[in-house]
Amino acid sequence: MTTPLLSVSGLRASYGPVQVLFDVDFQVAKGSVTTLIGANGAGKTTIMKSLAGLVAPTDGEIRFEGRDITQVPSHDRVNSGLCLIPEGRLVFPGMSVEQNLRLGAIAPAARAGHNQMLAEVFDRFPRLRERRSQLAGLMSGGEQQMLALGRGLMARPHLILMDEPTLGLAPVMVKQVFETIVELRDAGFTILLAEQNAKVALELADRAYLLENGRVALSGPGAELLASPDVRRAYLGM
Amino acid sequence: MDTLLSGQMLFAALVSGSLYALVALGLNLVYGTLRLLNIAHGDLVMIGAYTAFWMISLFAVPPIISLVVAAALCALLGWAVYVGLFRRMLAKPELAKRVEANSLILFYGISVILQNLAALAFTSTSRGYQYLDTVITWQGVSMTGNRLLTLGIAAAICFGTILFLRFHLFGWGLRAVIQRREAAQVVGVNLNRVQLLTICGGFAVAGVAGVLVSMTEQITPFMGFPFTIVAFVVIIIGGLGNIGAGVLAGFCLGLVETYGIALTSPGYRSILIYGLFVGVLLIRPEGIFTKAVRS
Ligand SMILES: Nc1ncnc2c1ncn2[C@@H]1O[C@H](COP(=O)(O)OP(=O)(O)O)[C@@H](O)[C@H]1O
Ligand SMILES: [Mg+2]
């Protein structure tokens, strides 16, 4: 087996005295969609932030493209191709859509050819082209999610981390976000997706991890978890 | 009425407005990117002023050159504060929260120390010197060279900074940090570098303001505090962390102060400034020039 694109082992993290991740292990294979599912508070966002360098793990190792990046600052991670689409989208509200996108390419590795990348993002999300000079803070939640995704793509990521991209969106937008994820996968992107929306996430997943109280409770191919009686009862309401 | 409409009055208002804008600029940048409320900001103005005074008194170095020296000195202080006090703490979110809450008190301590050190070293005798005080008359407006220089340099730095923030990639990164620190990290802004350069730049600008002030006003160890107050008033009016609006607000405060005093009397100066401050806080706490956007 080839080495995975991302490999996390023994990851622990705390907020102050409260430990929220307990020896989390998982891998993401290149070209795959891997999902983290789990209830609210299970630790998905903390994992994502640890990967992006926004939370400092207390223990464990994160290897990306064969390199130990556990201590690497966040901007260097972006520069090496690891890109987070954060929970709650976190667009820059006081800047235009286009400025938000251009900021996505602020990492030195993404700067060359960012005009071409901008055109690609606009082709993928025509809505963003229409609203390129509008302030990001004035857009709807779904549009902001598209913007956050587009901004992430501007960094030319080798691995896209998506933290609950459908949170708080209307059903029609949820569907659109999942369609976009499929498109990105088909275009060859590697994706790690954290979702509470277990059913759709598992259907998409090449591999899935179920998190419970900061621990990996179950893992396997998405279809396998989808068929598991425990998962069906606790997360799919069946 | 004639004096009110005179160019003389407008010139005076613009000079003090540009200084207020300049002093507030540094405070606003540091607050915006580091969330530190630097109550010692005015004391950097004092340090700049003494730098200019000693440079010209001891070495006959003109203030125009002391500008660079004071900027470097204050930038060095910024670097020391950042590396010595804040870098490690800001790196850890749990600690960063405490630092932000405590920065007011911490800087108050630094302010008292700086003032007393200055009083010990230089005594509290007020100092002054003469530089470019010949009067130039243009279109019936009499201006001293030092005031013209003050207006020119302060306005150039303020508008230069605004242009930099608008058009330079590093400026965009800085604005990103101001708007959403975590999102800035997510897109790959080097937070450490932005914060370090901002605190050095913000401190340097205060030092420059001090040199400009020293050309026309008395220098004492305690001259800084009123500038701290004015700077806070300006950035509250403009909106905390809103750089362009802060500059506009600085000029507005200069106009309100100058014309307000002309219409009343100098005894009303503090009432005007604090009145504006309280009024803005009550009516529009997010700042007068801040656009409402959903976050
Ligand atoms: N900034 C924080 N400070 C303290 N506790 C936090 C913080 N963020 C998350 N937590 C706690 O950590 C646990 C995991 O949260 P999180 O990673 O956000 O889970 P999820 O994304 O799966 O909903 C929860 O118990 C949550 O309350
Ligand atoms: Mg979450």
Facing B293 at nearest CB: one of A52, A94, A102: A94
Domain B2-283 has CATH 1.10.3470: yes
Tens digit of pLDDT for each residue in A94-109?
A: 999 999 999 999 999 9
What pLDDT does residue B291 have? 59
Number of A/B CB contacts below 8 angstroms equals: 85
- Residue percentage of chain B with pLDDT more than 90: 70
Res. B90: pLDDT tops 70: no
Q: How many folded domains does chain A comprise?
A: 1
Res. A110: pLDDT tops 80: yes
Res. B273: pLDDT tops 70: yes
* Alpha carbons B69 and B49: distance in angstroms, whole number: 11
Note whether B206 and B23 are within 8 A (CB). Answer: yes
Note whether B215 and B260 are within 8 A (CB). Answer: no
Cβ-Cβ contacts under 8 Å for B115 (sequence gap 6 or more): B43, B46, B221, B222, B224
Cβ-Cβ contacts under 8 Å for B279 (sequence gap 6 or more): none
Percent helix / strand / coil, chain A, rounded to 5: 40, 25, 35
Res. B280: pLDDT tops 90: no
Res. B294: pLDDT tops 50: no
H helices, E strands: number in chain B? 13, 2
Q: Rg (Cα) of chain A, in Å, rounded?
A: 17
Note whether B236 and B277 are within 8 A (CB). Answer: yes
C-alpha torsion sign, points B249, B212, B78, B184: positive
Cβ-Cβ contacts under 8 Å for B34 (sequence gap 6 or more): B86, B90, B195, B198, B199
A175: domain CATH number? Answer: 3.40.50.300
Interface ipTM:
0.94
The CA distances from residue B81 to B69, B77, B234, in Å, are 18, 6, 24
Tens digit of pLDDT for each residue in B136-178?
A: 988 888 899 999 999 999 999 999 999 999 999 999 999 999 9
Look at strands A67-68 and B135-138 and give their pairing: unpaired
Residue among A82, A62, A52, A60 nearest A13 (CA): A60
DSSP A189: -
Interface of B with A in 179-238 (CB under 8 A): 179-180, 182-183, 185-192
Query: With an 8 Å Cβ cutoff, are B295 and A93 in contact?
Result: yes
* Alpha carbons A93 and A134: distance in angstroms, whole number: 10
What pLDDT does residue B121 have? 96
What pLDDT does residue B138 have? 87
Residue among A76, A85, A175 nearest A121 (CA): A85
Q: How confident is the model at residue B116 (pLDDT cuts 50, 70, 90)?
A: very high
Note whether B9 and B260 are within 8 A (CB). Answer: no
Asked whether residue A176 is domain-assigned, the answer is yes
- Global pTM reads 0.92
Asked whether residue A1 is domain-assigned, the answer is no
Note whether B68 and B212 are within 8 A (CB). Answer: no
Res. B29: pLDDT tops 60: yes
**Range of the structural domain that residue A144 is part of:** 27-54+70-235
Tens digit of pLDDT for each residue in A217-233?
A: 999 999 999 999 888 88
Beta partners for residue B20, in sequence order = none
Q: Say which amino acid occupies B30.
A: V
Res. B93: pLDDT tops 70: no
Average pLDDT, chain B: 91
Tens digit of pLDDT for each residue in A2-27?
A: 789 999 999 999 998 899 999 999 99
Average pLDDT, chain A: 95
Query: With an 8 Å Cβ cutoff, are B188 and A73 in contact?
Result: no
Angle between helix axes B191-214 and B7-34 (nearest 10 degrees) is 150
Terminal C-alpha separation, chain A: 36
Domain-wise residue ranges, chain B: 2-283
**Residue with tokens 């400034």, as numbered in its chain:** B273
Asked whether residue A62 is domain-assigned, the answer is no
Query: With an 8 Å Cβ cutoff, are A91 and B293 in contact?
Result: no
Higher pLDDT, A165 or B99: A165
Phi, psi of A90 (to 5 degrees): 50, 50
Asked whether residue A20 is domain-assigned, the answer is no
Terminal C-alpha separation, chain B: 47
Asked whether residue A182 is domain-assigned, the answer is yes
Tens digit of pLDDT for each residue in B44-63?
A: 999 999 999 999 999 999 99
Say how many Å lie between the CA of residue A171 and the centre of ligand 2.
Answer: 19
Tens digit of pLDDT for each residue in A161-190?
A: 999 999 999 999 999 999 999 999 999 999
Asked whether residue A61 is domain-assigned, the answer is no
Chain B: nearest CA to A125, how far in angstroms?
19
* Alpha carbons A116 and A142: distance in angstroms, whole number: 24
How many residues comprise chain B?
295
Q: Which residues of A touch B191 (CB under 8 A)?
A: 73-75
Q: How confident is the model at residue B293 (pLDDT cuts 50, 70, 90)?
A: very low
For range B220-229, the mean pLDDT: 96
What pLDDT does residue A235 have? 79
